[in-house]
Amino acid sequence: MTYSTCINRLTIGLLTSLLMACQSDGLIAVGNSQSFLPHLSQYGIFQGTPAHLVPANGYQLYELASTLFSDYAEKQRLIKLPTGTRLTAQGEGLPVFPTGTILVKTFFYYKDNRDTSRGKTILETRLLVKAEAGWNVATYLWDEAQQEASLVTSGLSKTVNWIAADGQPQVIAYHVPSNRECTTCHQSGGITQPIGPKVRNLNRPVVRAGQPLNQLDYLQQVGLMSPLVAASVLALPAYADNRVPLSERGRAYLDVNCAHCHNTRGAAADTKLYFGYELPYDQTTIAKHKEDVVHKVEKGSMPRLGTTVVDEPGLALLKVYINSLP
């Protein structure tokens, strides 16, 4: 079977079927239960000029209230569900994703944060694809021409230059993670799963077609989510919003930046230090480890993966929050 034959099989919602069909034909394996195609363009995620990141039909933009710090990179998040299926909420955590779900996250930097119309530098696109056996992960590295991205399985670094909002030139050795690094953070009880799109983190205001509305309501309108009353679900606050009470901002920051490892089933479960937003205060044990938490974030040892520089605004928030604890 040729790659073109595989692509002809790709219909909306049937990516999993494509992967299974192509696995036996020598496509590049990435240590998952199934294989991925070598080039991102083969999935038809973007339409028109690839660098414009315009989602193709079937791919829906989604936004998070609070986001994981990734060396100041911007991120575009897309989701695609098999035709006729929906997300189903189960409390405020991760919804039930139907088999065949595709989550797409593209990392980029604006060349000049003072004027985003000057363009962007796209670095990588990560895929999470749910098969019958569970989630599969893949990372695609964009080329210098910003026209194509190729599958990579080993970690690497790329030097990125951009201008910050204050006009100061910035340079960073951006790290593209290996598959092993991806699954280290994306595992819970030894099972790979998404981190960000929890129902509480999707429960936020957005603007669609020029109209403001709740994102959970919007996802129901476009047929991507089963019936749900948004007001009945806890909403994770935006930790960067100074109008939100300090206690909520601090907990939200720890939830999205630390709790994927610091939970009872995560990579840092043995620390007994858990940061989930859903936990009562006395179960987080933050106050007992105030100095240690700040010290590890300050020296860049926490988060252990995913960053190469310290999140200075996040650290400032964390210090104020933790110092406010009894």
Domain spans of the chain?
3-232, 246-323
Predicted confidence at residue 154, as pLDDT, reads 85
Instruction: Indicate the pLDDT class of residue 305, thresholds 50, 70 and 90.
Output: low
Q: Who has greater pLDDT, 71 or 290?
A: 71
The Cα 43–Cα 69 span in angstroms is 27
134-138, 147-151, 267-271, 315-319: least confidently modelled range: 267-271
pLDDT digits (tens, 9 = 90+) for 109-129: 999 999 999 999 999 999 999
Share the mean pLDDT of the chain: 84
Q: Report pTM.
A: 0.85
Percent of the chain whose pLDDT exceeds 90: 57
In the predicted structure, residue 151 carries a pLDDT above the cut 80? yes
Which residue matches tokens 């080993």?
154
The Cα 273–Cα 180 span in angstroms is 23
Predicted confidence at residue 125, as pLDDT, reads 97
CA torsion 164-167-172-175 (nearest 10°) is: 20
Percent of the chain whose pLDDT exceeds 70: 83
The Cα 326–Cα 215 span in angstroms is 36
Predicted confidence at residue 126, as pLDDT, reads 95
What average pLDDT score do residues 287-313 get?
75
Q: Who has greater pLDDT, 156 or 105?
A: 105
Instruction: Indicate the pLDDT class of residue 22, thresholds 50, 70 and 90.
Output: very low
Predicted confidence at residue 11, as pLDDT, reads 33
Instruction: Indicate the pLDDT class of residue 9, thresholds 50, 70 and 90.
Output: very low
The Cα 4–Cα 94 span in angstroms is 35
What average pLDDT score do residues 73-80 get?
97
Distances in whole angstroms, Cα of residue 56 to Cα of each of 197, 202, 207, 296: 20, 21, 19, 41
pLDDT digits (tens, 9 = 90+) for 172-190: 999 888 777 766 666 655 6
Instruction: Indicate the pLDDT class of residue 316, thresholds 50, 70 and 90.
Output: very high
In the predicted structure, residue 214 carries a pLDDT above the cut 90? yes
